[in-house]
Chains A and B, each alone.
Chain A
Amino acid sequence: MNALNTPEVGKYLNEYFVSSFQKVATFKIVGAQKQGGNVASYFCAPDGRVLHVVAGPVDSPTMLREAKWVVETTEKAMKEAKGDGAAFKAIFRKAHAERLKNESGLIVEAVTYDLVVEQDPKAALTYNDPTGQPLAPKLPPPPIDGPDVTLRAKQDAEAKAPGAREVMDRKGGRWQLGNQGRVNMLLAAHAMDKIENLYGTVFQDILGEKISTKPVEVVTPFPWVNRKN
């Protein structure tokens, strides 16, 4: 991942975060061609609850900006919440709703209480492994109230964002929202949820990659080519 190769990004992440990685999906190598594959960066509290997510590969300035936003928002929330966990969560969810409004022009009301999402392995509201094993719940984003009329120009920019596609508001109006906007929308209702609850929705619903416990699948379509050599 190129963004992590920059000394500035490395220095900042090593100073404020302890980093780790997990394999959550697979991709195919057909011949020399790679099919699928993606990355999601989670910024979490030390207990594993998610503060922010960067969906998909980004450049170094974006990664640095997002990491700094997490640190600054955490410091601000800690100061304002004064040890109250519920207040800290509410501040973070409101911060994501605010970012969504500022960056895409769409308005959602931050959900400041915890939604009960039951995981039934037979229900359609669960992301499953190809074997049928339940991996993560599907988390509903908060409903969109509509665009802020003063920020309509943001919608034009959002239409060009990575992964931009249509979303519907409460009244059936159709708007454009990219991957990062979808992350902010999701986190306006689910920030401070556990990473194991969020990753299915991030990887599968936002990035469009199937989560899996499988390793990389290497497919050689013409195996006889190597045999001749």
Chain B
Amino acid sequence: MRRLLWCTVVVLLLAPLVGLGSAYGSGEKDKAEAAACGSHGTQVTFVDTPKEAAAQAKKEQKLVFVLHVSGNFEDPRFT
């Protein structure tokens, strides 16, 4: 009985940590997915900076498309 009680306490103490770990894991996964996609709700793939776009365009023999916006493009409420 005492042993069962001890196990229950240990499980209860560890549960939030396990939960926190999995929540952190899914958040990181979402961030990684967003970074890889980078379309910001459009059909166009965006790289992080115009400099990066220029370097990639030179490498792939493409042109560069740069969008200048007011506000935060990442947040649809702010564009």
Pairwise interchain contact B43-A18, C-beta atoms closer than 8 A: no
Measured CB to CB, the closest approach of chain A to B38, in angstroms, equals 9
Contact in complex: A215, B72 (CB < 8 Å): yes
Decide if A164 is an interface residue (CB 8 Å cutoff): no
Q: Establish whether residues A46 and B57, one from each chain, have CB atoms under 8 Å apart when the complex forms.
A: yes
**Which residues of chain A from 1 to 30 have a CB within 8 Å of any chain B CB?**
1, 4-7, 9-11, 13-14, 16-27, 29
Q: Does any Cβ of A come within 8 Å of B8's Cβ?
A: no
Is B73 positioned at the interface, with any CB of A under 8 Å from its CB? yes
**A64 CB to nearest chain B CB (Å):** 12
Which A residues lie within 8 Å of B57 (CB)?
17-18, 46
The total of interchain contacts (Cβ-Cβ below 8 angstroms) comes to 152
Which has the most chain B C-beta neighbours within 10 Å: A5, A17, A40? A17
Give the nearest-CB partner of A50 in chain B: B66
* Interfacial residues of chain B within 20-79, with CB under 8 A of chain A in the complex: 39-50, 52-54, 56-58, 60, 62-73, 78-79
A27 to B70, CA, bound (A): 6
Whether the pair B68, A44 counts as a contact (CB closer than 8 A) is no
A side interface size, CB within 8 A: 48
Q: Verify if A51 is at the interface (C-beta below 8 Å from B).
A: yes
Q: Report yes or no: A18 in contact with B47, Cβ–Cβ below 8 A.
A: yes
* A residues near B52, Cβ cutoff 8 Å: 20
Chain B residues near A40 (CB-CB < 8 A): 67-68
A45 located at the interface, meaning its Cβ lies under 8 Å from any Cβ of chain B in the complex: yes
A44 to chain B, nearest CB (A): 4
Known: A10-B42, A19-B45, A47-B54. A24 touches B69 (CB 8 A): yes
> Which residues of B come within 8 Å of A, CB atoms?
39-50, 52-54, 56-58, 60, 62-73, 78-79
User: Lowest 6 CB-CB distances: which A-B pairs, in order?
Assistant: A10-B43, A4-B42, A20-B53, A17-B65, A37-B70, A21-B67
